[in-house]
Amino acid sequence: MSNTIYIGYYFKVKPLQPGVEILIAELGYAGFESFVETEEGVTAYIQKEEWKDNMLDDIQILESDEFEISFTSEDIEQTNWNEEWEKNFNPIIVDDKCSVRAPFHEKPDTEFDIIIEPKMSFGTGHHETTHMMIQHILKNDFEGKSVLDMGCGTGVLAILAELKGAKPLDAIDYDNWCYLNSLENVERNNSKHITVLEGDASLLHGRHYDIVIANINRNILLNDMETYVNTLNENGVLFLSGFYKDDISVIEAECNKYSLKLVDTLERNNWVALKFQK
Ligand SMILES: C[S@@+](CC[C@H](N)C(=O)[O-])C[C@H]1O[C@@H](n2cnc3c(N)ncnc32)[C@H](O)[C@@H]1O
């Protein structure tokens, strides 16, 4: 193990749920790499050289009146993340049909069983947006469809889409950790039709899909929407998440510009996941 020094930020969150989930998502977007949840709060880690003094400025939940959040920080030696995860990562089951678990959990009795090496990537199914995207995939037809999972994190959504019969599939993430973790998970789940790529929307030129799944965040989605739409086949379907209920109008307006129609909305703890039809 290297001697990388991390800054560990320990946040106490009251009330814990759903505050802790929102906090983790916002810290993840800000650049924190790893999180360990306990019953009292969450410790967020970032490499010392990645830390910038203004990093907490955009964490909206810290300004919220709904939650009381205090934090302390300290320099720490690199932790064995897997060990920490093993202590704190519970399997999840979505709609009695799909389990997402780590290799060290017992196999549940579900139609779809996905094994994720948790490590540091987003996408263990615990976040509301991943949960709702799994629900969308479960209730839609993927048989024989070509699929793009943009911002794939652990690759969980692409893996489920393949289990539902989709092929071929591309899973793309601009983060090297997520790219490597997706490769590992694709192999572990024996997903034969998924190609994992490292990069962003600039990779999409000349590629076409029946279904595009993108659980990223409001600003990236707005910025890259035209590229997503151009990559979508006629009558294609676009699933979007990574933003709050309040953002629906701006996301829908952007989609309407390209004649995409909002046909289904899921909501969970103020987060939403939308289905658009081309
Ligand atoms: C909210 S996570 C979703 C992960 C996974 N798809 C899930 O549903 O759990 C967003 C992912 O998008 C990636 N990402 C953010 N901006 C991106 C961009 N411009 N292009 C590609 N990936 C991006 C992040 O690295 C992160 O893994």
pLDDT in the model for residue 118: 66
Mutation choice for ligand 1 from 34, 120, 173, CB with most ligand atoms inside 8 A = 173
Give the mean pLDDT of 36-57. Answer: 78
Residue 1 has pLDDT above 60, yes or no: no
Q: Which fold has domain 5-81?
A: Alpha-Beta Plaits (3.30.70)
What's the CA-to-centroid distance between 253 and ligand 1, angstroms? 22
Give the bridge partners for 68, in sequence order. 14
What's the CA-to-centroid distance between 128 and ligand 1, angstroms? 14
Q: CB neighbours of 276 closer than 8 A, spacing ≥ 6?
A: 237, 238, 239, 240, 255, 260, 261, 262, 263
**Helix H or strand E encompassing 203:** none
pLDDT in the model for residue 93: 95
pTM here is 0.78
Structure token pair of residue 49: 């050289």
Q: Is 128 exposed, middle or buried (0-12, 13-18, 19+ CB in 10 A)?
A: buried
- For residue 201, which atom of ligand 1 is closest to its CA? 20
Cα radius of gyration (the chain):
18
In order of 54, 68, 203, the CA distances from 73 in angstroms are 15, 17, 38
Which among 97, 93, 194, 98 has a CA at the least distance from the CA of 147? Answer: 194
Q: How far apart are the first and last CA of the chain?
A: 49
Residue 2 has pLDDT above 50, yes or no: no
Domain ranges, ordered by start, for the chain: 5-81, 140-277
- pLDDT more than 70, % of the chain: 86
- For residue 121, which atom of ligand 1 is closest to its CA? 27
pLDDT in the model for residue 63: 82
Give the mean pLDDT of 29-43. Answer: 76
User: Which residue minimizes the CA distance to atom 10 of ligand 1?
Assistant: 216
pLDDT in the model for residue 197: 98
What's the CA-to-centroid distance between 215 and ligand 1, angstroms? 6
CA dihedral 215, 135, 243, 38 (to 10 degrees): -90
pLDDT in the model for residue 138: 98
Structure token pair of residue 16: 């814990």
- Of the given ranges (43-57, 123-137, 165-179), which has the lowest mean pLDDT? 43-57
Longest dimension (CA), the chain: 53
Q: Which of 41-45, 176-180, 265-269 has the highest mean pLDDT?
A: 265-269
User: Which residue minimizes the CA distance to atom 8 of ligand 1?
Assistant: 130
What's the CA-to-centroid distance between 80 and ligand 1, angstroms? 24
pLDDT in the model for residue 62: 81
Query: Which residues' Cβ are closer than 6 Å to ligand 1?
Result: 122-123, 129-130, 133, 151-153, 156-157, 172-175, 178, 200, 215-216, 220, 242
Q: Which CATH superfamily is domain 140-277 in?
A: Vaccinia Virus protein VP39 (3.40.50.150)
Each residue's pLDDT tens digit, 136-185: 999 999 999 999 999 999 999 999 999 999 999 999 998 888 899 899 99
Give the mean pLDDT of 85-105. Answer: 84
33 falls in which pLDDT band (50, 70, 90)? confident
202 falls in which pLDDT band (50, 70, 90)? very high
Q: How many residues in the chain?
A: 278
Give the bridge partners for 177, in sequence order. none
Residue recorded with tokens 């709050």: 244
What's the CA-to-centroid distance between 152 and ligand 1, angstroms? 5
What ipTM was estimated for this complex?
A: 0.99
Which among 47, 59, 81, 54 has a CA at the least distance from the CA of 13? Answer: 59
Which among 74, 89, 65, 57 has a CA at the least distance from the CA of 11? Answer: 74
Mutation choice for ligand 1 from 33, 124, 175, CB with most ligand atoms inside 8 A = 175
CA dihedral 135, 136, 141, 146 (to 10 degrees): -120
Structure token pair of residue 40: 């009292």
Structure token pair of residue 230: 């151009």
Binding-site positions read: 130, 151, 173, 215
